[in-house]
Amino acid sequence: MSGTLFIIFGFSIIFIMTLLGALCVYFLKKPSNFVNMVTIGFASSIMLSASIWSLLLPSIEYAEQEYNNIFILPVAIGFLLGGIFMVLLDKLTGHFSNLKNKNKAFKLFTAVTVHNIPEGLSVGFAFGSAYALTGDYFGAFLIALGIALQNFPEGLAVALPMNKTLQNKHKAFLFGALSGVVEPIFAIVGFFLASKLIFLMPWLLSFSAGAMIYVVVEELLPELHINEKITVGTWAFMFGFVIMMVLDLCL
């Protein structure tokens, strides 16, 4: 396969897998209380696991390369800024009555979308570096494939809560798909700016992690404790975390 085909396929697959994950919402019946708890636990674990393995650890690695002895500062500050961003978003959406009942699902969608921006940049950087320096398109494709595989459950994790909130599978699918649109867009940006934006990666990655963990702690985990089927949601969280950890560390 030529380098051009690797690039096209790599940029496409990261969105296609999100699309397929969101598409699963059409094959699920109206969720029962049991399914709701599983969904909440699974969505929480996906976001938390992705925050740690896909965002914070790479953020630290980039920061060590770019900031030397003060590497922890962009990681820590970016993380807190992500949380602050979600607080401000919460206050902003709270002023609009038509968004009040949709606030939780909207914040989940926003957090996952924000988290997809540095992932798209990472894919673009990998292919941009291969094009300009190493020529290792297969290695860059493996990075894209790893991100694509974890995007499948992320697309579903956005679409299911949206369906619960909006009671509309078409809109839920649309939100799930839209959460992944930013990835190929920013992959293209990263490809052309591969040598110029590396210093921003620690900030972007940790910012995304902070936003996602804020939503998990503030909105999702508390719901696991207001239902008698807490064990179901907790085990869904445990299994989801392990699945995402394996995808992130082994691919």
Q: Confidence class of residue 73 from pLDDT cuts 50, 70 and 90?
A: very high
pLDDT digits (tens, 9 = 90+) for 94-109: 544 344 445 667 777 8
In this predicted structure, what is the pLDDT of residue 75? 94
CA distance linking residue 245 with residue 248, whole number of Å: 5
Is residue 58's pLDDT more than 60? Answer: yes
CA distance linking residue 162 with residue 41, whole number of Å: 15
CA distance linking residue 121 with residue 160, whole number of Å: 26
Stated pTM of the model: 0.66
Average pLDDT over residues 17-33: 81
Query: Cβ distance 143 to 15 under 8 Å?
Result: no
Sign of the Cα pseudo-torsion (214, 215, 221, 223, in order): positive
Is residue 200's pLDDT more than 90? Answer: no
Output the CA–CA distances (angstroms, integers) from residue 243 to 29, 36, 47, 50, 199, in the order listed: 24, 19, 12, 10, 30
Kindly list the domain boundaries of the chain, sorted by start residue. 3-25+36-250
Q: Confidence class of residue 177 from pLDDT cuts 50, 70 and 90?
A: very high
pLDDT digits (tens, 9 = 90+) for 109-125: 887 888 788 778 878 88
In this predicted structure, what is the pLDDT of residue 46? 76
Is residue 77's pLDDT more than 90? Answer: yes
In this predicted structure, what is the pLDDT of residue 92? 67
In this predicted structure, what is the pLDDT of residue 32? 64
Q: Confidence class of residue 162 from pLDDT cuts 50, 70 and 90?
A: confident
In this predicted structure, what is the pLDDT of residue 226? 64
Phi, psi at 211, each rounded to 5° = -65, -45
Q: Which residue has the higher pLDDT, 196 or 30?
A: 196
**Average pLDDT for the chain:** 80
Average pLDDT over residues 39-53: 79
